[in-house]
Structure 1
Amino acid sequence: MYENDADSEQASMTYQNAGRIFKSFFEEIGNVIVGQKEAVEQITIALLCEGHALVESNPGLAKTLMISTISKAMNLKFSRIQCTPDLMPSDITGTYVIEEKEKGKEFRFEPGPVFANIVLADEINRASPKTQSALLEAMQEKQVTVGNDTYLLDRPFFILATQNPIEMEGTYPLPEAQLDRFLLKILLEYPSFEEEMEIVKRYTKSEVPQVTRGLDKSTLLNLQKLTRQVPISDELTQRALSIVTMTRKDKENIEFGASPRASIGLILAAKARALIEGRNFVSKEDVDTMAYPVLRHRIILTFEAERSGMTSDEAVEKILQKVK
């Protein structure tokens, strides 16, 4: 895999350095965000994989605070889009405005909030399908087309969309084709009693905690490149593919399985998890752990499975037990 032992040793040191970088990074995030370590880790994994994430949680669990804190800790430009039924595509991408010049009037492009490094699309399922689709080109091509002009987005570019599992009236559920474009679906749970006690103590004081240091953009871009270089054995690659293909064969619980995009996403996410922990190899635990956020939004359960109360995570768990 490496040309000589020196190259191998240098790569190993790089992975160890990455582990130390992320340990310090998560400690800094912990100064502001109490708990939610798994969610913060998975958002970071999506960033490392140059993917996007969909977060589902009840209101008031600090989704906006979490993603804005991560963007500050990475020194990245952050913008927030509050999705509503009357939101127009131009409200996201930007539009041309008429500007007075000495020679007369000219059209000038005014960039929308999508022109940032980290974009929070809050309650994306409240936006109309036409507005939701305005994000598709940005997510897939990392560019925006307005009229006859195409504008490239700054790297890194990451969209975190949120949706509320309750209050579904007046919403436009994301179609399966659009859900598939999100690398991960992250679930936020309520904090424990001890964590909520710490939250109350921190945020009822006069000074609200802030991040003071973190990564820079060039370091993050290098870590994104390093993520794809993390070695993975043929055996674990076959396991990842077997897990995804099993979602198409398990007709007892799953009506529609995951696409090949899920296979790519699962292997990339497993590599990113290994990198975060400072390892120069992917483990079985990496693959199995990331199978849940990679697959939970890409499978459609059968009517019988839904009627019995089965969740997508339970269906994924059964698949992991079947795959040797």
Structure 2
Amino acid sequence: MIKIREQIRDIIINNYIKEGKDPFDSIIGQENAKRQILSSLISGRNILIIGPPGTGKTTLAKNIAKLLPEIDFPEGIPLWAYEEFPFVSEEYRKKWREGPFIKIRGEDRFIRIQGSYDLSVEDLIGDIDPSKALKYGIHSLESFIPGKIFRAHHGVLFFDEINRAPPKVQNSLLELLEEKKITIGTYEFQIPLDIIFIATMNPESYYGTEKISDVLLDRFDIINLDYPKDIEEEKKIILKYGKSLDVNFPEKLLELTIEFIQKLRKDDKLERKPSVRSTIGIYEKAQALAIIDKKENVEIQHIFESLLSILPHRIRLKPSYKMEINEEEYVKNQWNSFIIGKDFRS
């Protein structure tokens, strides 16, 4: 089977670049980031996407998986139990030779690992179950409990918020990133893996993150994402991904809402800024409130109500300002100051 990195390279070049198409057309904006990701995929390199929450990191990674071609896989065999796997039994190897086979799409070979402080190396790699090893043998498929890394074979391994994983877990990835192989526990043999590795992380200033070692960073191409560059770009994202309910959201009010959110992102009092998910949430909730009030149009009070529900827990004031005010009062004050002199009539 052709290596997955070679497949994605050929698909990008032949199906998109030569045809002048955007393989990530579901992502609005972020043109430089998309260009850098394409160059990393073509050259077969590991990718680390850095950006605040809600900037499209996960969406980009899922888009890459959708580019992958379908593969033929023996029916009834777990996806991680590929033919070259050392624990695969002769019965399974026979299925690999004779079938029957089923088609597996690229998006079904997208495996996500969520970084967290309690993530263990065994969660990623897997381990041998001692009781089953006594019954079936140490090299039997039944004795092995696979981690998520093996489930991504012939697909995309997406490690979300890698800098929330403890250092021991981060270090366990070095062999995979450098050699495309994994050693299980204390066993000496290495198991080859055919994957595209994509990781994301929030900026290191975010709460609950661990520092990424220079040795690990050296295995990645770093791609930076940021918030939408202007009101028009963010409006396109909201209208594409936000739910439109049975009520009108006046364009002027929508632009006013986006302008307010973008103003907050520039405020140096905040250490955590409102994401695009916040704007989408306000867009959806304001419509719902208008429906409750039996209004045909979203009105300014619906936006204000939505702000107080959506924003306070999605932003964080810097410690030096928390002594003076909490996040809810901050949102109220900022909004009241912002709308002074604004024409928000339809």
Q: How does the TM-score come out when normalised to structure 2?
A: 0.48
- Point out the structure with max Rg over C-alpha: 2
Cross-structure match for 2:190: 150
Cross-structure match for 2:22: 27
- Kindly state the Cα deviation for residue 105 of structure 1 after the two structures are TM-superposed: 4.4
Change (3 A) 1:106 1:28: same
Alpha-carbon contact 1:95-1:109 (below 8 Å) kept = yes
Cross-structure match for 2:115: 83
CA–CA distance in structure 1, aligned partners of residues 243 and 206 of structure 2: 35
Letter in 2 for 1:90: E
Structure 2 residues not aligned, in runs of 5+: 1-9, 70-105, 245-346
- Kindly state the Cα deviation for residue 44 of structure 1 after the two structures are TM-superposed: 2.1
Cross-structure match for 2:254: none
Higher-RCO chain (CA-CA 8 Å, sequence separation at least 6)? 1
Q: How does the TM-score come out when normalised to structure 1?
A: 0.51
Structure 1 residues not aligned, in runs of 5+: 1-14, 207-324
Change (3 A) 1:28 1:160: closer
Cross-structure match for 1:200: 238
Cross-structure match for 1:235: none
Cross-structure match for 2:36: 42
Letter in 2 for 1:118: V
Cross-structure match for 1:61: 55
Corresponding residue SS for 2:128: strand
Alpha-carbon contact 1:25-1:73 (below 8 Å) kept = no
Letter in 1 for 2:224: L
Alpha-carbon contact 1:99-1:106 (below 8 Å) kept = no
RMSD in angstroms over aligned alpha carbons? Answer: 2.7
Cross-structure match for 1:189: 226
Equivalent residue runs for 1:76-155 within 5 Å = 76=106, 77-97=109-129, 104-107=135-138, 108-115=143-150, 116=152, 117-146=155-184, 147-148=186-187, 149-154=189-194
Equivalent residue runs for 1:1-324 within 5 Å = 18=13, 21-22=16-17, 24=19, 26-30=21-25, 32-75=26-69, 76=106, 77-97=109-129, 104-107=135-138, 108-115=143-150, 116=152, 117-146=155-184, 147-148=186-187, 149-154=189-194, 157-165=195-203, 167-182=205-220, 184-191=221-228, 192-205=230-243
The Cα offsets for residues 81-122 of structure 1, whole Å up to 9 and x where unpaired, read as 111111001111122236869x94445223322232321111
Letter in 2 for 1:63: K
Alpha-carbon contact 1:98-1:106 (below 8 Å) kept = no
User: May I ask how many residue pairs the two structures share in their alignment?
Assistant: 186
Alpha-carbon contact 2:204-2:211 (below 8 Å) kept = no
Identical columns (%): 35
